[in-house]
Amino acid sequence: MVTRLAPDIVNRFWGVIKFAIAKSVPPLANGADEAGMTSILMKILNDEMQAWLVQDDRNEPVAIMLTMITREIGINRADLLIYSIYGMKPLNMKMLNDIIKQLEMFGKATGCSNIIYQSDRENVIEITKRLGFSTDTVLGIKEIQ
């Protein structure tokens, strides 16, 4: 089961959620510092980001996920970004499919065209291929000195 967490729940369990985010920030975030974590919390509380809890069949928590609606500014298209996902326990394909179905419903309701993510982990890329993601796009990064 995948449940979007209300702001009061996020606030109450911020310590656990913050830990999960710190362990799973995307490569471009390069390890979020305290100011970054505060920014993420404010974005969740202001509904600019969404926090989700994934539970197994026994209602045990298995993952915490953050999403964010982003805009492709050239054509003003909305996409749903999986910002981070932290598994407290292994996620099986049924759980992963449930996550994608929930995100598709949320994305459709909010006018998004795609679900997107970034990762530098081969196992994540392989799993998302099995979930129907195209992984042909390359994101090149050059740090500004």
More confident residue, 34 or 6: 6
State the residue range of the domain holding 119. 2-130
pLDDT in tens, 67-124: 999 998 888 899 999 999 999 999 999 999 999 999 999 999 999 999 999 888 888 8
Largest CA distance in the chain: 50
The SS3 assignment for 39 reads helix
pLDDT in tens, 50-71: 999 999 999 999 999 999 999 9
Q: Is residue 102 part of a domain?
A: yes
Q: Is residue 142 part of a domain?
A: no
Give this prediction's pTM.
Answer: 0.88
Q: Is residue 143 part of a domain?
A: no
* Domains of the chain: total: 1
Q: Give yes or no for a contact between 104 and 67, defined as CB atoms under 8 angstroms apart.
A: no
Q: What CATH number does residue 10 fall under?
A: 3.40.630.30
112 strand-pairing partners: 78
